[in-house]
Amino acid sequence: MLQEGQTNLRSLFEKYLHTQRIFKNKDVLRHSYTPRELPHRREQIETLVHILVPVLRGETPSNIFVYGKTGTGKTVTVRYVTEDLMRISQKYNVPVDVIYLNCEIVDTQYRVLANIVNHFKEESGVEVPLVGWPTDEVYAQLKKVLDMRERFVIIVLDEIDKLVKKSGDDILYSLTRINTELKKAKVSIIGISNDLRFKEYLDPRVLSSLSEEEVVFPPYDANQLRDILMQRAQEAFYDGVLDEAVVPLCAALAAREHGDARRALDLLRVSGEIAEREMAPKVTEKHVWKAQEKIEQDTMEEVIKTLPLHSKILLYAIVLLDENGELPANTGDVYSVYKDLCDYLDLEPLTQRRISDLINELDMLGIINAKVVSKGRYGRTKEIRLNITPYKVKNIYRFEETLRPLISVSMLKQRRLFYG
């Protein structure tokens, strides 16, 4: 018995051992990797260098506001330029500190201030706890710590819109004015955002000091994405395993989306992973299409997780109709199942008009398809279809306490809900 088991085990592993290896170094395709060169960002790099170079002459550089859509290389370019600035400033004996904060995580005034103070903790011996001090005191410490000696401090606030949406713009007001209260140190801010409407949230005074200089990152086109991918592919894959069509297809698909280099790199990596799992000798176009499908589904699952409660219940109503073979359905059909589900969960249902808005939102997010069709003299109605497989929605709800009871609800043709 034991011997038989061992043989099986060996054959299971050997099957994979002798297959063609696809990745030479997969890390090169990960988001955290900083490439040595950044194709098609020469203009933005030059502009940033131009704005920051006064530091080396002992002058305070302007604050910079960097914006552009997601995956256009904002973060990687700012890191690339500031790392070079740190290197060169040592040569010129100019003390420069760059503090990088991601405001998706560091999302309150207190945390921003505390993180800056703590950046200097070895030098100052001061460490602010992550909660607990009055904000004024953290601010006072910040000024003291910064001013311990002459230096330039560049604070990079990535995803700055998240900070402002969560905690307002007081912190930006303070930071953009802090130089008037410092004697030795000089502070400059680099704010990065992919929300192009973010400026509307800012007090005009904050906006004008934050965006003394603006650097725009336009989306990449398919050719540019191809160059970016080619450069990475050489390091990431073994020679000859990438079919010629793979990189151009990844580039074209990501360009169609919105010129997102992150999406292009994800497509290339996931295509390779799928080929590896299938034990294919090469990565081909077929793997790219599968990768596209997988990424779309994964993204949609992430979006579903963050929907508000009533949108989730509404989506479940559509899932039930789908399982019952009743799609496409119209708003009225969906609303009646939604109302029953609310009853079951002991929740007050929203009005049909509100649900109609939420249907449009789900449509915009690509989770459902709600097409308006004309019914001749009966007016217009919506035809609602589902864009995700029902079991994926159920798998998500299984982990949510409020929604878990819905998993045991099923529906018969008469549109009556059955529980259990």
Give the residues lining the site for ligand ATP (CB under 6 A).
Answer: 31, 35, 38-41, 68, 70-76, 194, 228, 261-262, 265
Nearest residue (CB) to ligand ATP, 262 versus 392:
262
Nearest distance, CB of residue 26 and ligand ATP, angstroms: 13
Smallest separation (angstroms) from ligand ATP to the CB of 266? 9
3-state secondary structure at position 383? strand
Nearer to ligand ATP, 126 or 365 (CB): 365
Q: Is 220 marked as a binding-site residue?
A: yes
Rounded CA separation 87/320 (Å): 60
Least distance between ligand ATP and beta carbon 241 (Å): 21
For the bound state, the minimum distance from the C-beta of residue 86 to ligand ATP, rounded and expressed in Å, comes to 18
User: Toward ligand ATP, which CB reaches closer, 73 or 191?
Assistant: 73
Q: How far is the CB of 291 from ligand ATP (least distance, A)?
A: 16
Query: In the bound complex, what is the minimum distance in angstroms from residue 104's beta carbon to ligand ATP?
Result: 9
Identify the H or E element spanning 79: helix 74-91
Please give the Cα distance from 66 to 297 (Å, whole number).
31
| CB nearer ligand ATP, residue 120 or residue 217 | 217
Strands 380-386 and 368-374 come out as antiparallel
Residue 418: strand pairing partners:
410
| Shortest Å distance, C-beta 112 to ligand ATP | 18
Q: Which are the contacts of 410, defined by CB distance < 8 A and separation ≥ 6?
A: 320, 323, 417, 418
Residue the block writes with tokens 């170079």: 53
Q: Is residue 232 marked as binding?
A: yes
162 labelled binding-site residue: no
- Helix runs in 18-169, H state only: 42-52, 74-91, 109-119, 121-124, 135-146, 160-167
Q: Looking at beta carbons only, is 43 or 357 nearer to ligand ATP?
A: 43
Q: What's the distance, Cα to Cα, between the start and end of the chain in Å?
A: 43
Are 363 and 385 in contact, with CB atoms under 8 Å apart?
Answer: no
Which one, 33 or 344, has the nearer CB to ligand ATP?
33
**Taking phi first (over 0 means left), then psi (-120 to 50 degrees means alpha), and beta for anything else, what does residue 287 get?**
alpha
> Which residues, 6+ apart, have CB-to-CB distance to 87 below 8 Å?
none
- Closest-CA residue to 317 (of 372, 370, 386, 383): 386
Nearer to ligand ATP, 14 or 227 (CB): 227
* Number of other CB atoms surrounding residue 309 within 10 Å: 12
How would you classify the pairing of strands 213-217 and 64-68?
Answer: parallel
d(CA 191, CA 36): 23
Known binder of ligand: residue 74? yes
Residue 30 assigned as binding residue: no
Query: Any binding-site annotation on 42?
Result: no
Q: Is 191 annotated as a binding residue?
A: no
Q: Are 75 and 62 in contact (CB under 8 A)?
A: no
What minimum distance in Å lies between the beta carbon of 252 and ligand ATP?
Answer: 17
3-state helix, strand, coil in the chain (%, to 5): 55, 15, 30
Residue nearest ligand ATP by beta-carbon distance = 73
Q: Is 159 or 322 the residue whose CB approaches ligand ATP more closely?
A: 159
Of 43 and 181, nearer to ligand ATP (C-beta) is: 43
The alpha carbon of 282 is separated from its chain's Cα centroid by a whole number of angstroms, namely 30
User: Torsions phi, psi of 365, nearest 5?
Assistant: -75, -5
Closest distance between ligand ATP and the C-beta of residue 154, in Å? Answer: 17
Angle between helices 352-364 and 331-345 (to 10 degrees): 110
Positions at the binding site for ATP: 72-76, 220, 232
Positions at the binding site: 72-76, 220, 232
